[in-house]
């Protein structure tokens, strides 16, 4: 799956599912891609993924029809440009709090004339080999890259209109933990202030025609979020593994006639 395919599914109203992965294991990425996720978000913000690992991880994804995205640690143009050079097909940018932040994302992710991304004959452009006009390939790259803006603060909620006015931002993605923390109610996802902020995001996204994404801890959450317009859902691998591991330990203890500690 490519960024174009993800965008097409979202455009058709379909849900897409992925996972944040903080590790740099190619085998792990391949397992996740084989599992059927639409996309993987290689986490360079809270994980150990560096530019030097992106190419191999991207190849593991691509081999099984899974779109490799990268969550970058900052809006630095090199932090955004390098993963795209090495094969990422989209960028997840944290802490987009203003129009200026959104513009910084787009400027770094797009080649001129739409941005200022540096041009080199890197993996994303076939290392300069193959047929086709270079200008056409650059234009195609600009059209293809998936741009995802994370909404994670009280400031971002106040600036939703100006952020969503940027037509080239594809997906507005809510980071629930940081958003709840910024609202002064950390991890209180049923608090009226948090629910109100989520409704604001959903309402503004409908007004601006933006796709909506969110981090989920349990599939059950999707039943509540889907009616609000959310279509891009991502879990976090470490949390998924922790829950599965604990469940396995408990079930092993029960099967052996006892209770696991």
Q: Is 114 a catalytic residue?
A: no
What is the distance of C-alpha 98 from the center of its chain?
18
How far is residue 131's CA from residue 29's CA, in Å, rounded to a whole number? 30
C-alpha torsion sign, points 60, 63, 64, 68: positive
Residue 233 pairs with which residues in a beta bridge? Answer: 17, 214
- Verify cis geometry, omega within 30 degrees of 0, for the bond prior to 113: yes
Catalytic, out of 46, 64, 208, 211: 46
Tell me the helices (H) and strands (E) count for the chain, helix number first: 12, 8
Q: Spell out where 15-143 has E strands.
A: 16-21, 39-43, 67-71, 90-93
- In three-state secondary structure terms, 76 is coil
Angle between helix axes 26-34 and 51-62 (nearest 10 degrees) is: 30
As a whole number of angstroms, the distance between CA 183 and CA 176 comes to 10
How far apart CA 145 and CA 29 sit, in angstroms, is: 20
HSE, CB side, 13 Å, CA atoms: give it for residue 48.
Answer: 5
Q: Which residues are catalytic?
A: 46
């Amino acid at each position: 799956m490519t960024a174009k395919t993800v965008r097409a599914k979202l455009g058709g109203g379909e849900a897409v599912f992925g996972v944040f992965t903080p590790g740099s294991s190619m085998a792990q990425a391949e397992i996740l891609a084989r599992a059927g996720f639409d996309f993987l978000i290689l986490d360079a913000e809270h994980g150990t993924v560096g530019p030097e690992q992106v190419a191999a991880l991207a190849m593991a994804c691509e081999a099984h029809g899974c779109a490799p995205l990268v969550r970058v640690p900052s809006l630095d143009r090199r932090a955004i440009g390098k993963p795209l050079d090495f094969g990422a097909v989209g960028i997840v940018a944290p802490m987009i709090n203003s129009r200026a932040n959104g513009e910084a994302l787009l400027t770094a992710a797009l080649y001129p004339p739409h941005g200022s991304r540096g041009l080199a004959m890197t993996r994303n452009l076939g290392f300069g080999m193959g047929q086709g006009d270079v200008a056409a390939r650059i234009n195609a790259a600009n059209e293809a890259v998936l741009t995802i803006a994370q909404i994670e603060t009280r400031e971002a909620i106040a600036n939703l209109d100006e952020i969503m006015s940027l037509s080239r931002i594809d997906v507005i993605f809510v980071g629930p933990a940081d958003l709840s923390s910024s609202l002064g109610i950390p991890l209180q996802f049923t608090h009226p202030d948090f629910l109100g902020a989520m409704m604001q995001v959903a309402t503004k996204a409908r007004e601006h025609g933006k796709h909506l994404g969110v981090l989920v801890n349990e599939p059950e959450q999707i039943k509540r979020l889907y009616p609000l317009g959310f279509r891009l859902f991502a879990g976090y691998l470490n949390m998924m593994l922790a829950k599965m591991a604990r469940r396995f330990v408990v079930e092993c203890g029960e099967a052996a006639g006892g209770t696991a500690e």
